[in-house]
Amino acid sequence: MKMNSIPFNTVDWATIPPEEKTADAGRVFWRTQQFGEIRVRMVEYTPGYVSDHWCVKGHVLLCIEGELITELEDGRVFTLKPGMSYQVADNAEPHRSRAPLGAKLFIVD
């Protein structure tokens, strides 16, 4: 990820309108800012959230609240709690997540 031509700025995430995205179960809301090719998001999963797809996009993801369970296509499963992160490259390892208790995440991709 190259971060070019992004001037210093701050984001008050509470002022960014949330967009609801699709899910197999539960609900997910994204607050998104785009900086050139870099997308930065504050994402909230309601309790019971289950992803509706396998993702191949690379991310740097930080769990702020709740708990996120991420399954890799090869069967490995990882649980993130507040203060934990994961990093994965584009097209490296397909993954999908669920949040039985709900979760709040900060994601850069």
Which tokens sit at 95? 């993954």
Domain span at residue 67 reads 35-108
Query: What b-and-e string marks burial along 87-97, b requiring 16 or more CB atoms within 10 Å of the CB?
Result: ebeeeeeebbb
pLDDT for position 2: 79
User: Is residue 62 a part of any domain in this protein?
Assistant: yes
In a domain, 102, yes or no: yes
pLDDT of residue 39: 95
Across residues 50-58, what is the average pLDDT?
Answer: 96
pTM: 0.93
Decide if 20 is inside a domain. no
Q: Is there a domain that residue 65 lies in?
A: yes
Domain contains 75: yes
> What is the secondary structure of 42-106 as a DSSP string?
EEEE-TTEE-SS-B-S-EEEEEEEE-EEEEETTS-EEEE-TT-EEEE-TTTS-EEEEETT-EEEE
Amino acid 79: pLDDT:
98
CATH number, position 72: 2.60.120.10
Average pLDDT over every residue of 6-26: 95
pLDDT interval class at 4 (50, 70, 90)? confident
Answer yes or no: is 21 within a domain.
Answer: no
Does 96 map to a domain?
A: yes
Q: Do 109 and 57 form a contact (C-beta atoms < 8 A)?
A: yes
Q: How many domains does the chain have?
A: 1
